[in-house]
Structure 1
Amino acid sequence: MAWSTRELAELAGTTLKTVRYYHQIGLLDEPERRANGYKRYRVKHLIRLLRIRRLVDLGVPASDIPAMEESDENAEQALRALDAELKASIERQQRMRKELALILQHRSHVDLPPGFDGNTADMSDVERSLMMVFSRALDATAMTALRELHSAPRPPVQAEFDALPADADEARRQRLAEDLVPIARRQFEAQPSLKDATTWEALTKPVVLHGVVELFNPAQLDVLQRVNTLLELTPPEEV
């Protein structure tokens, strides 16, 4: 029994191009040829090709097969490494499915970085955008703290800040800043990690500063500066 290259490929469930590629990289030996020059593949070639396809279908790169065949130890190491990669890939896909389930339940989550698991529909567009920007600058601990803060109901004064017009007068800015100070202080007390030097250093990165400047109008930026000033000047026991 002898087969042509095309027949061998069909028997093995692969393509003519793939068989030729395996010849090219030395995985599959060239068979003897007939008098007319055509290759004559036999059962040993089919078995070899099926074994190669078996490993490739498991995820082993064709280029790694020769090293695997040098020793049982190499083969075990390669297969264990592949198993670890598959495990990590499955875990990643499971995380993705959980994220998708949350997005299907709360469409607003598509505009937020991973990890938000509550109803965030009342978050403003600016807050969502800031969370995206923060996710590129803050570490996991700080992001967890922000997620926990945003899981609580938003205070009414936050909505007023969101709606603050760019031409808000001095009195309104000062009053709003003073209303926001105790809220900010409680948040810092609830999440001490937000006061870490590492977090503050991250908040001064250009990506964060540009984000804040572009997302807030001049009056809102002024209020935020006033809040920072009041937090620095007001002792905790007096708030």
Structure 2
Amino acid sequence: MAAVLTIGQLARHVGVSTKTVRVYHGKGLLPEPERDASGYRRYTAWHAVELIKIRTLAEAGVPLARIKTLAEASPEEFRRTLEQVELDLTTRIRRLRETRDRLRRLESRHDLPAEVTAHLEALPRLGFTGRWTAMETDLWILVFATRPDIAPALFHDQAESLTRPELLSLYLEYDRAHDLDPADPALDDLAERIVTATRNRYGDGELPGPDAGSEIPGLIQGAINAESPAWRRLDQLIRRRLG
């Protein structure tokens, strides 16, 4: 077969850089042709086909060292490897699609379920500040985007709590505590009443939330605590009392 391609032409045809071609030469993946009388290396269509194979396997995530051994593998071993590569790609595609879907849900609160949007729009009418409403919006977007399996149950639990006057009052006090001094004794009193209400509602069992080991509760509480030193202090007092 006539050798008609320079390294630059070969690289352009296959869609890689000349540096990549030289790397493959150096690693023994692609045989390096002899130089012609002019001192240039000339490549054939065979080199182009081999380079396409190498590029395709590399883009699929096959390590270069493994690609080199595949060049000497039996047809059966090569087939099994390709089947595994296809399986890995299918898994990666599924995960990428899941990530894409989560990103879409993060775009705006309008991507939240209608009942959640209605709940958020009702918060100011219940007496919550714009600061609290904005924070709740961000947190529900986070929960629905990362844990859509349990987000509805968590939402319904909180929404139901706001229908109880005594619990709504505690939420509103939590909101207003934002500007208190962290040493204000009112925080101790509020923490005690929140813990009492929590135990009355859930008993001594596990509180509703993501599975053990999930990072979501920490992210949520961390976001709340970052808003206010008083809220951070209140969280510490509540945790201490709940044990």
Report the TM range for the smaller structure's normalisation.
0.5 to 0.7
Corresponding residue of 1:75: 78
- Structure-to-structure mapping, 1:6-25, within 5 angstroms: 6-25=8-27
Structure 1 residue 184, shift from structure 2 partner: 1.1
2:206 to 189, 193, 217: 193
Q: Could you tell me how far apart the structure 1 residues matched to 2:105 and 2:45 are?
A: 53
Contact 2:188/2:234 (<8 A) preserved: no
Structure 1 residue 65, shift from structure 2 partner: 0.9
Structure 1 residue 218, shift from structure 2 partner: 8.3
* 1:185–1:144 CA distance, 2 compared to 1 (3 A): farther
Structure 1 residue 28, shift from structure 2 partner: 1.1
Query: Is 1:96 aligned to residue 99 of structure 2?
Result: yes
Aligned length: 209
Corresponding residue of 1:112: none
Q: Could you tell me how far apart the structure 2 residues matched to 1:28 and 1:62 are?
A: 11
Normalised to the residue count of structure 1, the TM-score between the two structures is 0.58
Gaps of 5+ in 1: 110-116, 136-140, 233-239
Normalised to the residue count of structure 2, the TM-score between the two structures is 0.57
Q: Could you tell me how far apart the structure 2 residues matched to 1:7 and 1:94 are?
A: 36
Structure 1 residue 19, shift from structure 2 partner: 1.8
Give the letter aligned to residue 158 of structure 2: H
Q: Could you tell me how far apart the structure 2 residues matched to 1:156 and 1:97 are?
A: 36
Partner of 1:192, secondary structure, is coil
Contact 2:225/2:235 (<8 A) preserved: no
Gaps of 5+ in 2: 144-148
Q: Could you tell me how far apart the structure 2 residues matched to 1:223 and 1:46 are?
A: 65
* 1:80–1:215 CA distance, 2 compared to 1 (3 A): farther
Cα shift readout 1:174-222 (whole Å, capped 9, x = no counterpart): 58844x4564135425x93339xx97xx9xx9xx89x869845289739
Q: Percent identity?
A: 27
Structure 1 residue 146, shift from structure 2 partner: 5.4
Structure 1 residue 59, shift from structure 2 partner: 4.1
1:32 to 13, 31, 34: 34
Cα shift readout 1:83-117 (whole Å, capped 9, x = no counterpart): 343333333333333333333341798xxxxxxx9
Give the letter aligned to residue 2 of structure 1: A
Corresponding residue of 1:41: 43
Give the letter aligned to residue 161 of structure 1: Y
RMSD value over aligned CA atoms? 5.3
Q: Could you tell me how far apart the structure 1 residues matched to 2:78 and 2:116 are?
A: 46
Query: Is 1:184 aligned to residue 198 of structure 2?
Result: yes
Give the letter aligned to residue 21 of structure 1: V
Partner of 1:217, secondary structure, is helix
Cα shift readout 1:141-165 (whole Å, capped 9, x = no counterpart): 9999756633545342111232136
Contact 1:177/1:223 (<8 A) preserved: no
Q: Could you tell me how far apart the structure 2 residues matched to 1:223 and 1:30 are?
A: 67
Contact 1:5/1:41 (<8 A) preserved: yes
